[in-house]
Amino acid sequence: MLTSFFGKSNPINYLILGAFIVVGYLLGAISGSSIVITPFLVLDHGFFIVLNVLIMLLLDFIIRKNHLTKNNTFAILFFTCFLVMLPVIFLQHKILLANAFLLLALRRIMSLRSDKNSSKKILDASIWITVASLFYFWSLLFFIPLFIAVFQKPNTNYKQILIPFTGFVAVLIINTAYQLLTNDSLFWFADWQETISFDFSKYNSASILVPITVILAFFIWAGVYRFLKLSAIPLKERPNYLLLLYVSITALFVALAGPEKTGAEIVFVLAPIAIIATNYIENFETERYVEKDVAEFWFKEIMLWLVVVLPFVFLFL
């Protein structure tokens, strides 16, 4: 059963999910492409297949390092299945790169609950967010949860509040020097900012609309539950509990602010949704049922099977 299998953290789980990403990429991206296969294209696709697997492993590292869930692999299962549900994501390489850098920033943001090496963590997060914005401008919105995390952490001082600006300016200076050397231009930032588009016409396709509806339904369902449970969270743990909710809402706005709505922008919300959905399953088990209950078991089992089966169904839409 999926509940017991992914309720543990075994190496085989990572192998299966990694293979799932590879198969999803091949079926969803390469098979749907009419481009003539060349050695460069093979290397390009190979790089992004590896990148997607590494992103899944990075998410698992963030979760374990910051104890965002219990010791299981439900979160990366959700993330992998949501990713494969929308194969259009695999075709948007800039968005994939931006998402990878934002996850590196998220790793630092969530670790600010510990007051150790805070200045370095803040600087790293600001650098990764700014680098992500070079591929997807509205990634800059992630400075909002960064500043929230800075103000929430213990022993915050004014120097730490200024650190994100230092990281931001440092990346801009380096990129300006790079643009000057390669393109002989200092005005790259004139094309940096992207306009916000509200053209959702591409969502009319069932292969995009249905998966996004399912993913957002998970987000709303688990997110509302997380918010309603806030009063039961100890005051000491409440700021960090809310921080992930802030991150998920920010990620949603990052997706909505994109210059083109292809469905691939949903990738930004997949990681926080996967964590929140996992917390929902864990809380469902520990709080709603005192003893092992048949209804509880089948509820979680059906939910997990639904998440696993839907990517294969959506491939034929």
Rounded to whole angstroms, what are the CA distances from 183 to 164, 175, 176? 28, 11, 10
Interatomic CA distance for residues 168 and 154, integer angstroms: 23
Centroid of chain to Cα 260:
19
202, 261 Cβ separation under 8 angstroms:
yes
Interatomic CA distance for residues 90 and 52, integer angstroms: 9
Rounded to whole angstroms, what are the CA distances from 132 to 26, 141, 167, 228, 248? 25, 11, 13, 33, 17
Residue of 229, 225, 215, 271 lying closest to 247 (CA atoms):
271
pTM of the model: 0.92
Q: Tokens 């910051």 — which residue?
A: 66
Query: Tens of pLDDT along the chain (317 residues)?
Result: 777 788 888 889 999 999 999 999 988 776 655 566 778 888 888 999 999 999 999 999 999 998 888 889 999 999 999 999 998 999 899 999 999 999 999 999 998 887 788 899 999 999 999 999 999 999 999 999 999 999 888 777 888 899 999 999 999 999 998 888 888 777 777 778 888 888 888 888 888 999 999 999 988 888 888 888 887 787 777 888 889 999 999 999 999 998 889 999 999 999 999 999 998 888 765 544 444 566 666 777 888 888 999 888 887 66
